[in-house]
Structure 1
Amino acid sequence: MNLEIITKEDLREFEIKLLTEIKKLVQLDGQGASKKWLKSNEVRKLLKISPGTLQNLRINGTLNFTRIGSIIYYKLEDINKLLEGGVK
């Protein structure tokens, strides 16, 4: 039988690693801004624009999108570029 002794320091290190991972998961799930892809309603809320304005951004090529079935997705990276004025 092989026994290992776990010290208080081992438990502290484990706690820190675990809390760090939980924080990452909460940020990814709880904040739209941490996602890689956003749905139309999330983009409208983020940019504070109407559905028509978002449609115009798609039509004139200002904001790239991907359609899967009836759902339209936008890359967060493209939205950030738009906000920084770096989109075509």
Structure 2
Amino acid sequence: MTKIELITKEDLEMLRHQILEDLKVFFIPKKKVVKEWMKSGEVRKMLNVSASSLQNMRINGLLKPKKIGGTYYYRTAEVQALFD
């Protein structure tokens, strides 16, 4: 014997909402996590400049990085402010 199950409009509406939520997970891009600090290579890539150009920016005071153990770290907000 087969069991008959009735589907209501409310059931279909709930299914529609569930499918839409599932699709959002797959197709809507996740927000990028913005780092507070960037290394020199990341800054050079973002600004599309050479290592010597980045060094000139440091020397001229355009960027004020922190140097930790031989590596320069730049505030992301400070680098992005160059575009404003």
After superposition, where does 1:25-64 map in structure 2 within 5 Å? Answer: 27-28=32-33, 34-64=34-64
After superposition, where does 1:1-88 map in structure 2 within 5 Å? Answer: 23-24=30-31, 27-28=32-33, 34-84=34-84
Identity within the alignment, %: 44
Deviations 1:26-76 (A, max 9, x none): x22xxxxx2111000000000000000000000010111001111100001
Residue 46 of structure 2 aligns with an amino acid whose one-letter code is L
TM-score normalised over the length of structure 1: 0.59
Structure that is richer in helix per residue: 1
What is the CA–CA distance in structure 1 between the aligned matches of 2:70 and 2:41, rounded to whole Å? 13
Residue 62 of structure 1 aligns with an amino acid whose one-letter code is L
Mark the runs of 5 or more structure 1 residues left unpaired by the alignment: 1-11, 29-33
Larger radius of gyration: 2
Q: Secondary structure at the match of 1:79?
A: helix
Q: Secondary structure at the match of 1:45?
A: helix
**How far does residue 81 in structure 1 lie from its aligned partner after superposition?**
1.4
What is the CA–CA distance in structure 1 between the aligned matches of 2:35 and 2:58, rounded to whole Å? 20
Aligned length: 61
